[in-house]
Structure 1
Amino acid sequence: MVIIGAGECGGRAALTLRDLGHEGPVTLVGDEPHLPYERPPLSKEAMTSEAPLIKAIASDELLAERSIRHIHSVRAVAVDRAAHLVRFSEGSSLGYGKLLLATGSVPRKLPMPGLGGRCVYLRTFNDALAIRAHLKPENRVAIIGGGFIGLELAASARKLGATVTVLEAQPRILMRGVPAEIAEIIHKAHQAEGVKVLTGQGITAIADDGTQVRITLADRQDIVADLAVIGIGAVPVTALAAEAGLAIDNGIAVDENLCTADPDVFAAGDCCSFPLAVYGG
């Protein structure tokens, strides 16, 4: 079994294979230099704890004990389904009997000109460290997107003393996440902690001159910040599967057993779309 994607999904899949008695080789391949780790703490504990640490789901010792080979800092670039091979960015390849794609998702990009080095996204631990460096009392942080990630970052930034403005184009925060009554409670809680929350405001322009970011809203109001964090959703990472000829349907299409149309290729986690009985399939 080869698992592409050494995040929480891929890492836990490798461990669970052993828990369920799989005795064949298991290889876990990831493009980050770290052990498999949890991403939810990146917007919370990794921002506010005195010493930001990765919340790893397995140590090197545990992986070795479970006979799980972990290849890190390598990017899969192609899957040859006929030859049962995965090819990697540095030119090597690896054969598989069964393949699990656990490539996750990446932040949705803001499709606007003017974004520079002070307009950032949060996905990895290294992203979290870079953002954390700006969360200090003298700094102004603009967060574009009033979803869970944006609001968690807003709370963390305020805890560290930064001035925070949340910009949400929808009529309210958490439009897709919670009912309006709950969103209102959360909105008021953030305001009580000093977060400025602006809803129903589209962005017409962004100018990042390398020292600060100027965000112009639809009402011509300008928000000036030392850092802009963009959190407007995520998109599944499907290119590897698509180029291998697998079906894509808002993610890598799988059945109720997480199997693609190829019986030797599975997909799990944020990268896949799957039928759910509670929603009628």
Structure 2
Amino acid sequence: MHAGMVIIGAGECGGRAALTLRDLGYEGPVTLIGDEPHLPYERPPLSKEAMTGAAPAIKSITSDAVLAERSIRHIHSVRAVAIDRAERLVRLSDGSSLPYDKLLLATGSLPGKLPMPGLGERCVYLRTFNDALAIRAHLNPKNRVAIIGGGFIGLELAASSRKLGATVTVIEAQPRILMRGVPAEIAAVIHKAHEAEGVTILAGQSIEAIADDGKEVRISLTGGQQIVADLAVIGIGAVPVTGLAAEAGLAVDNGIAVDA
């Protein structure tokens, strides 16, 4: 019996890969492994619709019925913890193992961590739907939100936070927002649009210290200014998830290296 294709990572990439295998006529077993309880879903809406919609909802790319109809097995709420290339096995966090003929790594990325002491429960990151729900619970007119990072995620969260009435301050270490994303002229237009909606943007400001006492977060900037917030959301970029690949002996170069 063929072990077929095993896909580690049941996000949008892994989910669409599984569906595309069937579209292209692959008839062997297809198994998706994901550490979240949800069906594969789109992540971009997490900082927008999931924050501001009347009822937060996941934008799934498929359904249980479609997966069953297309004979795609979805193993959720478990992590792949090791790859045994010699035995062609994936070892899972529940102690079980899964054989494979072909293995696809669709492990994606995780938010870059702010390398500072003092971060507590009120210093959070956005990656999953559950993260979005936790952040949304703080977005109301009574609360102050500090967003560390003036990239796309940070600015989308700033807009969503203002839409729900929160007081918002964006802190960006670079001289301007969207430094890596867009030219200066476009960034200036976006900067003005956010300020017109009531967002305070502090660019060219480095963080000297953070103190999270569980009730509020105090962010001290190098210029002497202090920002006090009920929640700090950190959006300073993403790092590829390469641990499994590296431990399995694959080439890793700021991501999993592939051939042409």
Smaller-chain TM-score range? over 0.9
Following superposition, the deviation at residue 154 of structure 1 comes to 0.1
Aligned position for 2:42: 38
Superposed, which structure 2 residues align to 1:219-230 within 5 Å? 219-230=223-234
Matched, 1:78 2:73: no
Task: Report SS of the residue matched to 1:21.
Answer: coil
For 1:103 and 1:46, the matched residues in 2 are separated by: 22
Query: Could you tell me which of 244, 247, 252 is aligned with 1:248?
Result: 252
Task: Report SS of the residue matched to 2:74.
Answer: strand
TM-score (norm 2): 0.98
Matched, 1:69 2:73: yes
Unaligned stretches of 5+ residues in structure 1: 257-281
Query: Could you tell me which of 117, 140, 143 is aligned with 1:139?
Result: 143
Unaligned stretches of 5+ residues in structure 2: none
Aligned position for 2:33: 29
For 1:79 and 1:130, the matched residues in 2 are separated by: 33
Matched, 1:172 2:184: no
TM-score (norm 1): 0.91
How many residues are aligned here? 256
Query: Could you tell me which of 92, 96, 108 is aligned with 1:92?
Result: 96
Following superposition, the deviation at residue 255 of structure 1 comes to 1.6
For 1:224 and 1:126, the matched residues in 2 are separated by: 25
> Cα deviations across residues 32-58 of structure 1 (Å, max 9, x unaligned)?
000000000000000000100000001
Identity among equivalent pairs (%): 84
For 2:92 and 2:30, the matched residues in 1 are separated by: 17
RMSD: 0.3
> Cα deviations across residues 184-227 of structure 1 (Å, max 9, x unaligned)?
00000000000000000000000000000000001110000000
For 1:119 and 1:80, the matched residues in 2 are separated by: 37
For 1:56 and 1:215, the matched residues in 2 are separated by: 36
Range that drifts further, 247-256 or 199-208: 247-256
Query: Could you tell me which of 212, 215, 235 is aligned with 2:216?
Result: 212
Superposed, which structure 2 residues align to 1:97-116 within 5 Å? 97-116=101-120
For 1:198 and 1:102, the matched residues in 2 are separated by: 36
Aligned position for 1:182: 186
Structure 2 letter corresponding to 1:13: A
Task: Report SS of the residue matched to 2:127.
Answer: coil
Runs of 4+ in 1 over 4 A off after TM superposition: none
For 1:66 and 1:137, the matched residues in 2 are separated by: 46
For 2:59 and 2:66, the matched residues in 1 are separated by: 15
Aligned position for 1:51: 55
For 1:61 and 1:225, the matched residues in 2 are separated by: 44
For 1:37 and 1:121, the matched residues in 2 are separated by: 18
For 2:146 and 2:181, the matched residues in 1 are separated by: 21
Aligned position for 1:60: 64
Following superposition, the deviation at residue 90 of structure 1 comes to 1.2
Structure 1 letter corresponding to 2:236: I
